[in-house]
Amino acid sequence: MSDLTAGMVVIGNEILSGKVVDTNSPFLASELRPLGVTLRRVTTIPDELPLIRDEVRHHHETFDLVFTSGGVGPTHDDVTIEGVAMALGRKVVVHPDIADKLRTFYGDKINAARLKMAEVPEGAELITDTSINFPTIKVENIYILPGIPEIFRAKLEGLKPRFNADPYCLKVVYTSVGEGTIAEHLNDTLRAFPELLLGSYPKINHPEYMVKVTLESKDAGYVGRAFTHLLTVLPEGSVVRTEE
């Protein structure tokens, strides 16, 4: 079964200074997972060209898909386009189609700062989406997305059909006992099903359960058998409920 990997580079001094909370990376993770794409790394870096160049290049060489977030506006600190171009050894050019859209949109209010948003790495592909007036810039395996959460989410929704791989099958078990009690049973399940992605997440002071256990695999039959095995070995009466 195919297994696409992804990496994300979040770019912005405002994230690292705590002025803005990054919500784009958890959103990306939650959207890619059901598609069967594994987000392997999220890196947050400041608006500095050498760091953007090096981090994007590493992600580009390491993962099937790369997403950047932030640094694509008209201001002095919006240097993501240049950083991506440097990472790939390409020039920055003005894309005529984007420039035309900007001139049409702004009319006589167009200026050099606004036209900066027409800059792309040389050879970039423009992905149009009817729900968003401004195209998404893609170059090789890199998708350059804005940092504004509402626009990031809208653009990702339009891109998702491109990323369909083999989806993960997920089953969940909630227990009324803690990890110390069920650890041996989780280990037993992993010995029986070594390819299983098994997660254990304690919850403090929750009125219903103490631990949420997740079982994942791209093989529905495999995760189903592991799920049955775990329910069999857990202490009697410890399962609050399950989700399949």
pTM of the model: 0.86
Is residue 2 pLDDT above 80, yes or no? no
* Residue 215: alpha-carbon gap to chain centroid: 20
Q: What are phi and psi of 140, to 5 degrees?
A: 55, -120
**Triad 115, 119, 121: Cα angle to 5°:** 180
Distance CA 163, CA 165 (A): 6
Given this model, what pLDDT does residue 130 score? 65
pLDDT in tens, 143-190: 999 999 999 999 999 999 999 878 899 999 999 999 999 999 999 999
Is residue 91 pLDDT above 90, yes or no? yes
The DSSP bridge partners found for residue 38 are: 5
Distance CA 22, CA 5 (A): 21
Over residues 88-98, the mean pLDDT reads 95
Distance CA 80, CA 92 (A): 11
Q: Rounded to 10 degrees, what is the CA torsion of 29, 27, 69, 100?
A: 120
Q: Yes or no: say if 13 and 46 are a contact pair by the CB < 8 Å rule.
A: yes
Q: Quick check: helix, strand or coil at residue 73?
A: coil
Strand pairing category for 92-94 and 197-202: unpaired
pLDDT in tens, 206-228: 999 999 999 999 999 999 999 99
